[in-house]
Structure 1
Amino acid sequence: MLRKPSDKDLEKYFQDIEEILREQHGMTFKFINEEGRFVHTYCAGQLMSKMGLEERDVIGKELKDFLPAGKAAAKERHYVKAWEGNEGVTYEGESKGIYYLASLRPIRRDGKVIEVIASCVDITERKKAEQELERTKKLLESIIDDSADGICIIDTGGNVIRVNHSFEMLYGWSENELIGRQLPIVPPEMEDEFKSITQEIQGDMLAKTFETVRRNKAGELVHVSITLSPIKNGYGEIIALTGITRDISERIKSEEFFRKADKLNVVGQLAAGLAHEIRNPLTSLKGFLQLMKESDKRRVEHCEIMLSEVDRMNSIINELLIFSKPQPKVLKRNDIGTLLYSVINLLEAQATMNGVQVYIEIHGDLPPICCSEVDIKQVFVNVLKNAIEATPNGGKIQIVAFEQLNELIIRIKDEGVGIPTDNLHRLGEPFYTTKEQGTGLGLMMCYKIIHDHKGNLSIRSALNQGTTVDIKLPVTE
């Protein structure tokens, strides 16, 4: 049989409960209603001391006795609800930087509420985390809203979640017009490319930056640089993509201006050499015509020589016109040897005038490259012309073309004055040049053109030891 607890046992039991309540991290309190006044009858727990309160400050007192009037009135409304018998009354409170959550429960006897008991838990850390999260959220919102770049967030299905004001200004659609819709900015012919890029990002979970064109609401194409980045949840799963768009139309215009300026500069420098080159066959033609006029006879071998000289002049002039006139940017398969020989033909006169011999070596049957013929010729002209000008006392220039690791490498090596090692890192900067009358635009455009063709241009040089330029271009699949 169970032994009936003695008074001593009960006293020990209640002491233990009291000790537990006093040592709890939170706080427990009770109150009653005395003629409309809510008077606290009990209060215990470590949360009291954190808020700077003691039992004597609370027990027998109303809220207004130990809290500011405003806070006391706000909490008393919850007291009223609990005293009226409402279950699950909760509220958050704060005192001296300590935040807590209070839950009130009415205690009934014979169906009537006789007192209300409340338990409180310390939520200071959670509150601080929420506040920090809110500050971070506001900071991110400010960055997005105030960014000069257009920002768009889409879900994994491609539907718009959010766009900022700069995005609206760039493309012309408002956020309300875009939310929940597929992005209308991708031109139809580029949809497959965009899907491929988004799938690639979702696959490797890495950001990707690329330059392309997009369509605004007016139907106009805009040159843009886009950085697409994945947004992940706590499990590392991609739940959305964010795109940061920058309008590069002005930069594209500047690059095109520099490219045209460089072409005009090169054409002007080539003019003197071409005049000399064309004067030689003209002299031959004049001599044969005078001979035919004086003898009144026409010899077949003379006619063949004259036709050959006319063809040579026509070839040189055609190359110069193709190089100087604006051409549409068309990518097609080209033979690297053919491009190199046409450029050498164009610069042969300048090389001869400088006492420079140009040797070319094509290793094997090289595969074609997909490129803009005019742009790649512009690169070869600039590099070869630089090599000729860097060899003022005559010498050799070697051009070697070969395939390596699915790339075509065109190596142009001269025996010229070279470039100081300290200056190599500045090559390609606009308006930086080592030549007295140079502009620095030529090499800058060479870097840009090769980069656009997904290739690489590197330069090795030493003072008085010559220069080697390696141009690497991907082989056409």
Structure 2
Amino acid sequence: MLKPQEIDSHSILNGVGESIFITDRKFIIKWANRYTNTVLQDIPFTIKRKEDLYGLNVLELFEEGTERWNEMNSDVYPKEIKVSLSLFKTVHLYIEKWQKDEFIITFKLMDHNIPTAWQRVIDNYVGMLSIDRTGRVLFGNNKSCKLLLYSSEEQLNQVFTELYFDPYLQNTYSEFFQAFTQGNQWDGALQAKRKDGSYIWIDAILIPIKENGSNTQYVLLFKEASSDKLKDAKLKKALKELSAIKYALDQSSMIAIYDENQVITYVNEAFSNLVKYSKEELLGKHYSYMMSKEDYNKVFHNELMEPLDKGKVWKGEVRKIAKDGRELWFDTTVVPFLNKQNKPYQYVSIQMDITYKKKTEELLQRAEKLSVIGELAAGVAHEIRNPLTSIKGFAQLLEGNDFYKQIILDEIDRISSIVSEFMVLAKPHAVNYSSKDIGALLRQVITFLESEANLNNVSIHYHQEVEGQLKMQCEENQLKQVFLNLIKNSIEAMPNGGPIHIILSGDGNKAKISISDYGVGMTGDKLEKLGEPFFSTKEEGNGLGLMVSYKIIHNHGGDISVRSKINQGTTFTITLPLLKG
């Protein structure tokens, strides 16, 4: 209950035409005079009744107040502290000792020294937002309300970056937001979001307000952007967005640009790194560079250029050969850029590396074919082998022309050989695997074939790049059969003789065997069919030798790949898993 003298003093303070607070020694507001209600209507506070101030700390009313605690709490009284509320208004706090453990604070709202006429100009012709250091709106004038379609109350205490700007624009206008964070002045064009969801380009100036060397708030003055400013701002925004799109594409795709003659004018670093050609080596080359003749005729002429010449986008898969000889597959989209006559003057090729995917698909297709052939082979071999034995036995008993009898016996042996190869393709049967040195197996096969190689004027050169043994779990006779098939193929591919180079290397996990000849080579379409049943590049071949080889290597957990060019030779590369330790 208030004492009589307190009632008298409060009555006196209620009659004063200035806002007055009574606080405790920690500046917690205990009472405010009647005139405080009038002042609260003119300042950007959410509190509009003096009773709602009770229990609050005076310092909490002002964003920078808590940092000035030491200044307010010193032993020297009376004192004055100034706090800016907006471009036009400053609060003067006069602090005096009142009674024991209490202070009386006079709250004076002062206009800055800006002529009233200028205030009217700013209020009616220029948008103005007063913003504290945390980004909250303290005040928005009439013109800002008209331009942004928010009322003063709707803007008050809202974070301006969330209210007026989409998140993605903060990256576009990074210089503006950096200036705000660092307390620096900035001017330029911005695209602001209005209450109805539409956008407006504004020509803006950000002005930091400082007192005692520290930043207290900002004033953002703005108007609707002029046409020149608007064009410049839109251009800068578009360039930044294009730069961001280019960066995203460069991170995910291989990009190449070609002129109207399909000559390369630009490649990005990702494309250059993958194909192992430098940018300088690629610039000025034709689109078909790194494509085989077959792919050039098939893809470039027959599929790609026809839709592009009509201004249509082309999508497809393209095979290219890297500088180091690797075969690469690209999922490719080519976009034509058209001139006023609707004729392409430039092409942009966006490519994704699908080499691994293509090789996986090929392995799956081959495995499926092997599975089907295996089931067929098991039945065929069983049905043929028994009659063959009888026919061969009776043929040997025939009397008469030994020449014809020998032909019959040779053909029976040939059929028997094919049946034996069929059996390898059948469903897996019991095979005794043991630890063997791959190098030793290769050397045994090479020794066995040296006489045949000499007869055909072929020299076999073997080189092992790693020291020691390269051991794996295998069925040695099956692996020897693979090596035998591939080396014999190389000998037969060089009718005029030549060298065969066999290189064995390993990295601790896998062994790699490459068998290279310098023979007639193969075209791309033949390479695709290699390993299919009954397809052979030899006149009298049945195609089962390579198919059996693929099956054996697959069953051993390995892989076979082949590279070949007409009149430049063929290289078979086998990879096999090694024993660890």
Common fold by TM > 0.5? no
Higher helix share: 1
TM-score normalised by L of structure 1: 0.38
> Larger C-alpha radius of gyration, 1 or 2?
2
Which one scores higher on RCO, CA 8 angstroms, separation ≥ 6? 1
Q: Scaled by the length of structure 2, what TM-score is found?
A: 0.32
